[in-house]
Chain A
């Protein structure tokens, strides 16, 4: 219902601007503050969007991108970076902007379909060609002699999904025995020789430096790494249980209103849900919200997985402080002597 309304609103807006277009075509700039792995996706999506916006309204839109670690990007927006839209890795990061600046409505998750996540992803394993260590599921990660590469959940959004996915598997396997779950996760991190600060750094450590036997990565990152860095040297393994990672998007109303770009920003986010937006997401290895809008060939790449969601952990508002806050479970795992 809400979605329908926002689309009508955008269409109406587009039409009024469209009628005005012959009078004066405008140059407008839109700033999308995003996280690292979305570069390739938005490069193509921005081009599509500005062309279609020009065709519809006659206005030239320049979309500026800012990429970086999700938390760092959120902090920049809080400190005054004038993003019109944010497309980040974690709901918690957008919540932080909403809470600390009031520039995003607190009910932002309800303003767009699928909890404001036009595309999702999950966590998979990237292993070396032929899977020499025989790594097929989470249990294999803590075997002797297996080295696991993951970024630091404290500094990387992707790593938090890794952590929760491992936790979900352990909880399922040990029937919720908290002590055993903690031992497993703590064991897992004892197998991590390098904790990079970001997802891309971890990929580089695994792929270029040849460190570790398995990389825990976003599915889209794993595919991209495969494509860009060596389809002959690596393969993707899907574990029995993983987590549905929802990288959300939101309009920063406070900034967009001040700049007069609200309609544009709204249309931009809506276009992510359009047929072309969904097709591009799938092309760039994200799982589209509406799979039927994507190319069949692209969809074949995604294997079926049992996916838990962050809501099984009580949502990000609870999971963030419990697991990754100061003194949270992740901090408890790293105690002296480990």
Chain B
């Protein structure tokens, strides 16, 4: 091996010592902020054994909460995904005035306190509003029912997909699409065969984050849910109830399930990555 080749390699990646240090720093940081909390959740969840854990999960109110949470995520995530793709396309592939402003508007739900994001729907659909009583006269319940919970969840998870896709699409530039178009592909074909493969990891991350957050949202949903046990309690709300009943093990059991759901989606992500790896 020539000196030049060695130099080249050392300039292409960090020295093993530096690598080890960086890995150590990253793992130490994650240990304090992620692994220990995760460990705390699971150790509390299984404190009274696997049997008690299972009991807490198959309890009817817990099952109702699980069903509701899955339903809410199944409605809100696809909606936000479609929006995310459309918004990222418009923002990344075109230059127009007020783009930074539009991006900021998309970011906005992140900066709205969850308490407020729930409250906006109370103000909009509550009995003191104009819309609420009118809809109610047609038998449509928004607040303290599933639609309100879905709306609050959509609000909270709104930016995830768009925000994930915008930097990826911007990085891709427009040359690939322009080439495809000049070769006679239609807009839709270009998107499907050129853009989509390029953004698939970003899209996947975005959808996973959106889904995880949709299932885990507490603050906003807590305002619009009404906390009716077995009817409008989502998993995070059910966890709070159990915790407030001093039923810590059951609370953490349901929490561990939520973590489990997130981990399952991540396993799926990994599987997809391996399957479609270049």
Touch A–B, Cβ below 8 Å:
yes
- The residues of A with any CB-CB pair to B shorter than 8 Å are 31, 36, 39-40, 64-68, 73, 76, 78-82, 100-101, 198, 200, 204, 224-225, 228-229
- The residues of B with any CB-CB pair to A shorter than 8 Å are 122, 125-128, 132, 136, 143-144, 226-231, 241, 243-246
B143:A80 contact, CB within 8 angstroms: yes
Given A39-B245, A80-B143, A229-B246, A64:B231 Cβ within 8 A: yes
Closest to B244 in A: A200
Closest to B127 in A: A80
Q: List 6 A-B contacts (CB under 8 A).
A: A39-B244, A67-B227, A73-B227, A81-B228, A200-B243, A225-B246
A66:B226 contact, CB within 8 angstroms: yes
On chain B, the residues within 8 Å of A65 by CB distance are 228-229
Q: How far is the CB of B104 from chain A (nearest CB, A)?
A: 30
Interface of chain B, main secondary structure:
loop
Apart from A73-B227, A78-B126, what 17 extra A-B contacts exist at CB < 8 Å?
A31-B228, A64-B228, A65-B229, A66-B227, A68-B227, A76-B144, A76-B226, A78-B128, A79-B126, A79-B128, A80-B126, A80-B127, A80-B144, A81-B226, A198-B244, A204-B243, A229-B246
B246:A79 contact, CB within 8 angstroms: no
In the bound assembly, the distance between CA atoms of A67 and B237 in angstroms comes to 11
In the bound assembly, the distance between CA atoms of A64 and B144 in angstroms comes to 13
In the bound assembly, the distance between CA atoms of A224 and B244 in angstroms comes to 12
Closest to A208 in B: B248
B127:A79 contact, CB within 8 angstroms: yes
Q: Which of A40, A73, A78, A228 is within 8 Å of B127, CB to CB?
A: A78
Given A76-B144, A80-B132, A66:B229 Cβ within 8 A: yes
In the bound assembly, the distance between CA atoms of A100 and B227 in angstroms comes to 21
When A and B form their complex, which 10 residue pairs have the shortest distance between CB atoms, in order from nearest? A79-B126, A80-B127, A66-B227, A81-B226, A228-B246, A200-B244, A81-B144, A66-B228, A79-B122, A64-B228
On chain A, the residues within 8 Å of B243 by CB distance are 200, 204
On chain B, the residues within 8 Å of A78 by CB distance are 126-128
On chain B, the residues within 8 Å of A31 by CB distance are 228
Q: How far is the CB of A151 from chain B (nearest CB, A)?
A: 13
In the bound assembly, the distance between CA atoms of A294 and B98 in angstroms comes to 71
On chain B, the residues within 8 Å of A81 by CB distance are 143-144, 226, 228
Q: How far is the CB of A227 from chain B (nearest CB, A)?
A: 9
In the bound assembly, the distance between CA atoms of A81 and B241 in angstroms comes to 18
On chain A, the residues within 8 Å of B226 by CB distance are 66, 76, 81
Q: How far is the CB of A187 from chain B (nearest CB, A)?
A: 31
Closest to A83 in B: B226
Q: How far is the CB of B25 from chain A (nearest CB, A)?
A: 30
On chain A, the residues within 8 Å of B132 by CB distance are 80
Which of A66, A68, A80, A198 gathers most chain B CB within 10 Å?
Answer: A80
Closest to B125 in A: A80
Closest to A224 in B: B246
